[in-house]
Amino acid sequence: MQAVWSAQAGRLAPPTPRAIRRRCPGVLCSASNGSSPNVDTKQVQQAVEMLEMVVADDLRPQQGAAARRPSKRLVPAPHKAAPKVAAQPPPPAAASPAPPKLNGSNGKLSTALNGSSSSNGLNGTSTTVAAAGGTLQVPSGNGPPPAVQQLVARQSMIKAASVELSVAQRQVTEQQLEIKGLRSQLVEKDAEVSSLKQAVAERDVKLKSAKGELLEARLSLQQKDSELKAAYVQLSEAMRDRSAMRTQLAQTHSELAETRAELEQLADDILAIKMLMDEESALGANGAGGTFDGFDSPGGYSAQQAAAAAAEEDDTLDVLQSLAALSRQLVADAAADDELLQAIQSIEEEQQVGEEGQ
């Protein structure tokens, strides 16, 4: 059968009655040979019931969004389609067809069937039946025509394909909606990811700045440690110098003590000599000879010795006084050195405690 492709609807459209008559001239045309046919009333009744069923099914309103205007096709609906179309009772909404009435023995159809009319063919072998969907020529014989069977099968296939296409379109629409939802979720996720990336970048900047500050602090700490080590080295050297000076000071103290003892012994000797000289001078003054003057007389010689001893004693006293002053200065320096050493030891102890605490 010829099917018409509709470009707007995107599917096969059912063939029109005109196309059916054009493709099947032997079946869907009027009698033209002028002969009086012998019509089988049973076949006519089946054909009329089939046409009424098709028209009633096309005029039945459909439910939901898929409802559309009725078409003028001359085939049953896909859900009513079958390889062989049998006479089925019409739905309750449609009027039941009236049985045909024969007028005479030649089998002439004289009663109108549900708005259709019948007429005898002139010099032909078929009968023309007019219905709401078009004109059907009912041939003599048993069963529906092959063209009608092919048309029913083709229309059922087209209807099944259209149903599958509608289901596929519905699935595509649902998938498009799901894709839109997924796209919106993806956009939200992208926004969250961008915000997280920005936060991570800010944290990286802060971390880099903190690392720079930590590096600077470590460098300054290392510099302070180096300075502290240098100061500790200098302090150690100073302590060694101080210890050497203390050793020298102790040696000086010992030498000073020995010198003091020697000076005391020398002073005792000088005093003894002075006393002897005084006694000799006294004895010389009381002597009987008394005739020597100057260096020739013993008294003059004793006086000169006494004067020299007195001068030497004065020098010795000056030396003793200077040695005593030097001794006192050394003692004061030793006390200052002791205080400095104690301060250095206290500083070292504090540094050791701080290092243990770290």
Reading the block at residue 63, the tokens are: 């439910």
> How far, in Å, CA of 105 to CA of 38, rounded?
9
> How far, in Å, CA of 118 to CA of 110, rounded?
7
Give φ, ψ of 101 to 5 degrees: -120, 135
pLDDT attached to residue 310? 66
- What are the C-alpha distances in Å from 159 to residues 66, 143, 192? 13, 24, 49
Instruction: Find, among 312, 279, 283, 284, the residue nearest to 300 by Cα.
Output: 284
Classify the C-alpha dihedral 134-139-143-145 as positive or negative: negative
> How far, in Å, CA of 225 to CA of 211, rounded?
20
CA trace torsion 112, 116, 117, 120 (10° rounding): -110
pLDDT attached to residue 282? 78
pLDDT attached to residue 342? 79
> How far, in Å, CA of 351 to CA of 225, rounded?
12
- Kindly tell me the burial class for residue 13, based on how many C-beta atoms sit within 10 Å of its own C-beta (0-12, 13-18, 19 or more): middle
Per-run averaged pLDDT (10 residues), the chain, 358 residues: 41 46 41 45 71 63 52 50 46 46 42 41 42 46 74 90 92 94 94 94 94 93 91 86 81 78 76 78 63 47 64 70 72 74 78 72
pTM of the model: 0.28
pLDDT attached to residue 243? 83
- Strand-pair partners of 4: 13
Q: What share of the chain is helix, strand, coil (3-state, %, to 5)?
A: 65, 5, 30
